[in-house]
Amino acid sequence: MSTFGKSKLPAKATSKAVAKSDRGLPPSPRVATVEEAQAFLDAHPHIVYFEILFTSMTGVPRGKRLRRHELLPIYEYGRFLPGSILVVDTLGADCEDTGLVWEDGDADRVARPVPGTLVPAPWLGDDVGQVMLSLYELDGTPNDLDPRHVLQGVLDRYAADGLTPVVACELEYYLVDIERGHDGKLRPATSFNTDETPKGTQVYGLPEIEQHGAFFRQLWETADAQNIPLEGAISEFAPGQVELTLKHKPDALRAADDAVMYKRLAKGVALSLGIEATFMAKPWSDRAGSGFHVHISVADRDGQNLCASEDPQGSKLLHTMIGGMKDHLADCMGILAPGANSYKRFKANSYAPVGLTWGVNNRTVSLRVTAGPAHTRHVEHRVAGADANPYLVLAAILACAHHGITQKTDPGPAVTGNGYAAAAESGAILPTNWFAAIDYLDKSKVLRDYLGDRFIDMYVKVKRTEQARFFEEITELDYDWYLRNA
């Protein structure tokens, strides 16, 4: 299916929302076959260990390491895992308020392999592979708390209307030293070439990329080995910060799989070279935060780009998508910015947007219609942090875009010039407080409709548990501010 093409608006936003009871019954292509596993084993006789991994609500991959003889049974009948693992907090601790620990008896669900994700994991050794899993109920129904199934439910709504989201994920992150500096603080990774610590912004600097050439070379080789469509690298807006983009795909679920696998391999490759890759949203208070930008267009049944237009603002359908995303952007913040640190990224004039704004070829807004040829017209959603769960980011923003299409939502006039100033003047500011953002999500009728009441309820419980645990901790900052001044 082609990504872009001649603009052609659908005659009508066709079907109503797919009934919740009909969403997510898994067609067979969504579960990998025994033949796929056997072919991999035959082609890789030297791989004797396999890491199986799934993604919880918080976006942290978790799983097990198995031996070679344990792989085929997973493809034959699955692997039984406790359902509570989907609702652990960021540190992997149980969230008892979900009711999935003691009240549920910590009961098993069955995990099944995701097609196309059985791959080598070279940074772990030549004898190690990995495969991603999704969780199902014991009767075969997709578990409605699994982020992959939540995203699939949104994509089913598009499919019912003859539409296909085409997305690309773009992640910023920092390369840092494993050991802290003499002051105990985090520091950018020492250059492999010069043994020096990077200084200055040097945005788009080539020496900064060359200084970590060994990392990027191994990163691209590993991505190719895992069939992850990783593209070029740039030096971003702070010392040690980089950005790479994954290629546009007309399969948003696979694009999210790629993003999860990419974050994992970037961390793994970095560690194998004696440094760390961190997707923390704001590692330094005085330096740029790390964003997760999502590029989105929508194709029809023939693969034609429905956002395409000679008008730089894009097609009417693109406007309605932007309208839906803009109207419900505040509701999404608890997903796009999932933790306490996430909110330290949002500051005026920081390239992290703060308002309910859209514009054309303008990086100061939340929703940017990009420059380029008419057939490539699309929108870049610039709000999420690199720390967010890729499945849930795509689920939330695609849900809002679809709602905008079906409701023909008007986004209002595009912002020209400084989007930060426009947001301040209009008062249309995003909730940049973790507690407020979770409250917005909890009350969102649109996201409850698309992502499911039970999922929203559980996600909110997990995040409120995290909030309580995070703010129970007494930090050095507490002592600096209050020990003598209280």
pLDDT of 8 strictly over 90 = no
pLDDT digits (tens, 9 = 90+) for 296-338: 999 999 999 999 999 999 999 999 999 999 999 999 999 999 9
Measured distance CA(133)–CA(80) in Å, rounded: 11
Burial of 220-250, coded b for 16+ CB within 10 Å and e otherwise, reads bebbeebebbbeebbbbbbbbbbbbbbebbb
Q: Does residue 180 surpass a pLDDT of 90?
A: no
Taking only the tens place, the pLDDT of each residue in 239-297 is: 888 899 999 999 999 999 999 999 999 999 999 999 999 999 999 888 889 999 999 99
Residue owning tokens 């990419």: 262
Of the chain, the percentage scoring pLDDT greater than 70 comes to 92
Higher confidence at residue 99 or residue 68?
Answer: 68
- C-alpha to C-alpha distances, 452 to 29, 111, 459, nearest whole angstrom: 23, 21, 11
State the CB neighbour count (10 A cutoff) for residue 394: 29
Please give the span between the terminal C-alpha atoms of the chain, in angstroms, as a whole number: 63
DSSP label at 113?
E
Name the pLDDT band for 200 (thresholds 50, 70, 90): low
Q: What's the rounded mean pLDDT across residues 473-485?
A: 91
Average pLDDT, the chain: 88
356-370 pLDDT, tens digit each: 999 999 988 999 999
Helix (H, G, I), strand (E, B) or coil at 309: coil
Whether the per-residue pLDDT at 14 is higher than 50: the answer is: no
Two tokens, residue 174: 């920092």
The confidence score (pLDDT) of residue 29 equals 54
Q: Which pLDDT value is given to residue 237?
A: 67
Q: Is residue 17 over pLDDT 50?
A: no
For 108, the 3-state DSSP assignment is strand
- The DSSP bridge pattern shows strands 164-177 and 119-120 to be unpaired
- Name the DSSP letter for residue 142: B
CA dist., res. 166 & res. 251, Å (int) = 7
Q: 446 vs 392, 393, 397, CA distance in Å? A: 14, 15, 11
Tell me: pLDDT of 449 over 60: yes
Helix axes 316-327, 390-407, angle to 10 degrees: 120
Tokens of 81: 């895992």
The pLDDT assigned to 158 comes to 97
pLDDT at residue 385 in the model: 96
Q: Which residue has the higher pLDDT, 304 or 206?
A: 304
For the stretch 117-152, pLDDT in tens is 999 999 999 999 999 999 999 999 999 999 999 999
